[in-house]
Amino acid sequence: MTAEPALQTPEEKVSYLAAGHSVRSWLLTTDHKRIAILYLISITGFFFIAGIAAALIRLDLLTPQGDLLTNEGYDRAFTLHGIVMVWFFLIPSIPNTFGNFLIPLMIGAKDVAFPRLNLLSWYIYVLGGLFTVYVLIVGGVDTGWTFYTPLSTMFANGHVIAVAIAVFIVGFSSILTGLNFIVTIHKLRAPGMTWGRLPLFIWSHYATSLILVLATPVLAVTLVLLASERLFHLGIFDPALGGDPLLFQHLFWFYSHPAVYIMILPAMGVISELVSAAAHKRVFGYWFIACASLAIAAVGFLVWGHHMFVAGQSIYASAIFSFLSLVVAVPSAIKVYNWTATLYKGDIRIDPPLLFAMAFIGLFTIGGLTGLMLALLAIDVHVHDTYFVVAHFHYIMVGGAVSAFFGALHFWWPKITGRMYSLIWGRISAGLIFFGFNLTFFPQFILGYLGMPRRYHVYPPQFQTLNVLSSAGASLLAAAYVLPFFYLVYALRNGAPAGPNPWNAAGLEWTTPSPPPKHNFETTPEVDRPAYDYPLAKRSADG
Amino acid sequence: MSRETTLLVAVWAALMLLLAATVAATFAPLGALKPVLNLGIAFAKASLVFWVFMHLREQPWLARLAAVAAVAWLLMLIALTQADLMTRSLF
Amino acid sequence: MAEHVTLTEPYVEPRQQRQADFMGMYVFLGTETMLFGGIFALVFAYRTLHPDAVAEAARHMRLWIATANTALLLTSSLFVALAVHAARRGGRRAVAGWLGLAIAFGAAFLALKGVEYWKDYTEGLMPLIGPHASVRDGPAALFIDLYFVATGLHAIHMTVGLTLLGTIATLVGGRRKGVPSQAVVVEMGGLYWHFVDVVWVFIYPLFYLARG
């Protein structure tokens, strides 16, 4: 471990961080907290790899001729950016780091249900990651992250098989994590921790795990079919034999649309915690938010066809998918309203976690509303495969999920490391991320609406101003993402000891010392109160 | 044989009978009913295996739900792809 | 029997651990359902798109070998169920014996499947290798290739299952896993085996009996 903190405070000396300092004690650990740290380090690495690809894309788009990259180089840059960001950063980001660290702590358990499977999941992730790095070194792949056939099976000349193997492998790490969370939440809740007392973070991770477990295998088999068609010339989707490439898209999006909810549901769980802790108030409409998570997980499986409106899907099916896509907005909107209502008349502290949560709410709302536009058949035909779509899903996946990831990092960093970071720098980076993000992606809505297609790096000169704005925003955003790395790592050695509960937040994880001891709790806690049991909630309940 | 063993053998006998029935159905002049019948028999066989051999009868209902939830999701996948394929030439 | 169980890390009582093991395995088998389910969805898709070609392709498949194989697998499942029953009552030798029988039937299944693949090869049904039958010129080839992927994936699962059963039989037979205290090992292996059996129960009508 490079950033081993100096273990000085009494809490640190008996914490999980003190239980062995050798590399072996980390690489063979079954402690969910240490595995979370392993994940945190590895996903950060992939975040920067994919970020470099994004930087190349934005630099290339500074000029209408695309001077920096060749056509193929550009294709490879955005493919790599998509694949690494989706499968090696976004999907594991919140569940595998914060989910791993917090789920046992929040429900009063010593560990997850299957600790060794948990470690195995990390090794599988690393193995998949090594394949990705291999693909990077040997020259990449140019299919886009969606691997559409017949491009991927017959025409693409990149390393399609290697990257399909990488994604196939990393899928099993998702499956094991999802399985572990489901059984943990079912079977390891402390006495008195009823379903109705679970933090909303747990509910949203439960919903996420359902998707991980039910959708990921479909991606796995789709990649197997793709690989066997490319390698052994099986005719699964081959149009020459009467096969239907749209079937590939059906299977692919049956996984990949719910995958968006794998990214956003844990983020929503984080926001519920951040908002109620900042307002020191019980979450408004607990059951609505909990059930909304499950509803998003369930209905989210029924909307995949909206990716195929102009691909030749029957117009009847498109109408069904359009309707269902509008339906899934309802539980999402319920959450946004409830977070806002939670803040109302709260005892609010403007700390970095709240700022990130506010950024999430704003950006997610824009992303969600443009999602509604895209779910409408007529508008989608107009803006399909343009930068409007790119901007929309970046508002959800970056503005939403990544902001929540940083919010979680700032909220639980004192718990994970035992040290408090500079709140001022935290506020600055939250502001910079919000501003830089909007500067990067808002112009892309306009570009897309004006008709600039995605996945081309040569564009008409009249689009240059907006593209330059977007690239300028991207450089600001990049700086804003690197900034926390410095003050958070600095705090490892030099931050003030955080104490068990620096935010005065409710929740079992804040009853343990920071950092928590190896077995989380001295004695198994007995739970006798609901989640978010803040004084303000009592007052309003009393009168 | 204990009662438990008798039950296990009885389930096996039922599975074999269902296998015979599905073969018979394949060669009977049933037309469009044939795939429905064959799949129905497959579901019956799977239910027997899950319920007795795979111990679902001993489990709390949440575990039973966990064991069969995937089937519901699979039906969604099949139903909505069919919604596309069956109506392509209609509109 | 629960009081004999050895407890491991996060658990505080045997019932909780046992239920967690079962639930974990059920969820895992749910993922396997979705894995094969992707192929099954394509089978239904091509039945809708090319009904005649699918029926023609299915008539090239070896119904009687597949029927014999179904019977073999269902019987091996009975043996595994008997092994689990024996494990719960502490019959160490009986566990090894029943599992041995199940393995023999499973191996016979794979052998018959090998014969079937050989016949497919000589008839020219395989992609890429061997002679080329005329049925492979049209959409029937799509269905035949799905058949190879589905049965191939199933055969891989069978191999894993045989290894698993073999390992469990050795461990229990050699007293490295005690019964009934660690009967859960036999139960988990059994769940996997039965599930692979259930997958075949669906492969059988979806491919072999789809002759229209």
* Domain ranges across chain C: 19-208
Q: Which two tokens stand for residue A339?
A: 């977070």
Contacting subunits of A (3+ beta carbon pairs below 8 A): B, C
DSSP-derived secondary structure letter, A70: -
Q: Which residue has the tokens 């566990």?
A: C95
- Neighboring chain A residues of B83 at a CB cutoff of 8 Å: 314, 316-317, 320
pLDDT band at A542 (very low <50, low <70, confident <90, very high): very low
Q: Which two tokens stand for residue C17?
A: 């651990």
- Report whether pLDDT(A169) > 70: yes
- The C-alpha atoms of residue A477 and residue A395 are separated, in whole angstroms, by 13
DSSP-derived secondary structure letter, A497: B
- Report whether pLDDT(C28) > 80: yes
- The C-alpha atoms of residue A461 and residue A459 are separated, in whole angstroms, by 6
- Helix (H) or strand (E) holding A156, with range, is none
Side-chain half-sphere exposure of A204, counting CA atoms within 13 A:
28
By CB atoms closer than 10 A (0-12, 13-18, 19+), residue A459 is: buried
Q: Which two tokens stand for residue A49?
A: 């790899």
- Report whether pLDDT(A81) > 60: yes
pLDDT band at A13 (very low <50, low <70, confident <90, very high): confident
Q: Which of B53, B64, B87, B89 to mutate to test the interface with C (most CBs of C within 10 A)?
A: B53
Burial A193-202 (b: 16+ CB within 10 A, else e): beeebbbbbb
pLDDT tens profile C56-107: 999 999 999 999 999 999 999 999 999 999 999 999 999 999 999 999 999 9
Number of other CB atoms surrounding residue C137 within 10 Å: 10
Distance of residue A295 Cα from the nearest chain B Cα, in angstroms: 14
pLDDT tens profile A208-238: 999 999 999 999 999 999 999 999 989 899 9
Residue A518 lies in a domain: yes
Residue of A481, A352, A499 whose CA lies nearest to A414: A499
Please answer yes or no on whether B69 and A254 come within 8 Å at the CB atom.
Answer: no
- Report whether pLDDT(A539) > 90: no
Indicate the SS3 state at residue C11: coil
Percent pLDDT > 70 in chain B is 99
Q: Which two tokens stand for residue C144?
A: 């035949």
Please answer yes or no on whether B81 and A214 come within 8 Å at the CB atom.
Answer: no
- Report whether pLDDT(C12) > 90: no
Helices A160-187 and A115-138: angle between axes, nearest 10 degrees: 160
Side-chain half-sphere exposure of A341, counting CA atoms within 13 A:
14
- Report whether pLDDT(A190) > 60: yes
- Report whether pLDDT(A80) > 50: yes
CATH no. for residue A100? 1.20.210.10
A218 touches chain B (CB under 8 A): yes
- pLDDT at site A536: 66
Residues 6+ apart with CB under 8 A from A298: none
- pLDDT at site B91: 63
Mean pLDDT estimate for chain A:
94
Residues C98, C99, C100, CA angle at the centre, nearest 5°? 90
- pLDDT at site A238: 92
- The C-alpha atoms of residue A365 and residue A378 are separated, in whole angstroms, by 22
Cis peptide before A217 (omega within 30 of 0): no
- pLDDT at site C4: 59
ipTM of model: 0.95
Q: Nearest 10 degrees: CA dihedral of B83, B84, B87, B91?
A: 130
- pLDDT at site C2: 43
Residues C27, C31, C33, CA angle at the centre, nearest 5°? 110
- Neighboring chain A residues of C50 at a CB cutoff of 8 Å: 242
Q: What is the mean pLDDT of residues A123-150?
A: 93
pLDDT tens profile A461-511: 999 999 999 999 999 999 999 999 999 999 999 999 999 999 999 999 999
Q: What is the mean pLDDT of residues A511-525?
A: 92
Residues 6+ apart with CB under 8 A from A208: A95, A99, A178, A181, A261, A262, A265, A266, A269, A297
Residue A18 lies in a domain: no
What share of residues in chain C are helix, strand, coil (percent, to 5)?
80, 0, 20
- The C-alpha atoms of residue B25 and residue B42 are separated, in whole angstroms, by 12
Q: What is the mean pLDDT of residues C140-169?
A: 97
Please answer yes or no on whether A228 and C19 come within 8 Å at the CB atom.
Answer: no
Residue A4 lies in a domain: no
Residues 6+ apart with CB under 8 A from C111: none
- pLDDT at site C7: 80
- Helix (H) or strand (E) holding A227, with range, is helix A200-232
Q: What is the mean pLDDT of residues A436-458?
A: 96
Residues 6+ apart with CB under 8 A from A476: A432, A435, A436, A439, A440
Q: Which two tokens stand for residue C203?
A: 């492969």
- Report whether pLDDT(C3) > 60: no
- pLDDT at site A20: 87
- The C-alpha atoms of residue A375 and residue A391 are separated, in whole angstroms, by 15
Q: Which residues are bridge partners to A386 per DSSP?
A: A453
What is the residue range of A203's domain? 27-542
Q: What is the mean pLDDT of residues C147-164?
A: 97
Q: Return phi, psi of residue A386, to 5°.
A: -110, 180
- pLDDT at site A1: 42
Q: Which residues are bridge partners to A15 per DSSP?
A: A517
- Report whether pLDDT(A157) > 90: no
Direct distance between the N- and C-terminal alpha carbons of chain B, in angstroms, rounded to an integer? 62
Q: What is the CATH number of domain C19-208?
A: 1.20.120.80
- Report whether pLDDT(A541) > 70: no
pLDDT band at A538 (very low <50, low <70, confident <90, very high): low
- The C-alpha atoms of residue C163 and residue C157 are separated, in whole angstroms, by 10
Q: Which of A124, A187, A253 to mutate to test the interface with C (most CBs of C within 10 A)?
A: A187
How many residues are recorded in chain B? 91
- Return the sign of the alpha-carbon dihedral for residues A259, A262, A268, A270: negative
- Report whether pLDDT(C34) > 80: yes
pLDDT tens profile B29-73: 888 899 999 999 999 999 999 999 999 999 999 999 998 999 999
DSSP-derived secondary structure letter, C203: H
Please answer yes or no on whether B9 and C191 come within 8 Å at the CB atom.
Answer: no
- pLDDT at site C10: 85
Please answer yes or no on whether A317 and B66 come within 8 Å at the CB atom.
Answer: no
pLDDT band at A2 (very low <50, low <70, confident <90, very high): very low
Q: Which residue has the tokens 């196939």?
A: A168
Residue A6 lies in a domain: no
CA C72 vs CA A162, A250, C76, C80: distances in Å: 38, 35, 6, 12
Q: How far is CA A172 from the centre of its chain?
A: 17
Total tally of structural domains belonging to chain A: 1
- The C-alpha atoms of residue C175 and residue C179 are separated, in whole angstroms, by 8
- Return the sign of the alpha-carbon dihedral for residues A415, A421, A426, A427: positive
Contact between residue A66 and residue A60 where contact means Cβ atoms under 8 Å apart: yes
For chains A and B, CB pairs below 8 A equal 46
Q: Which of B7, B54, B61, B64 to mutate to test the interface with C (most CBs of C within 10 A)?
A: B54
CA A310 vs CA A315, A318, C42: distances in Å: 9, 9, 21
* Amino acid at position A253, single letter: W
pLDDT tens profile A240-295: 999 999 999 999 999 999 999 999 999 999 999 999 999 999 999 999 999 999 99
Give the predicted TM-score (pTM) of the model.
0.95
Number of other CB atoms surrounding residue C15 within 10 Å: 12
Q: DSSP letters along B7-70, please?
A: HHHHHHHHHHHHHHHHHHHHHSS-TTHHHHHHHHHHHHHHHHIIIIIT-GGGS-HHHHHHHHHH
pLDDT tens profile A297-326: 999 999 999 999 999 999 999 999 999 999
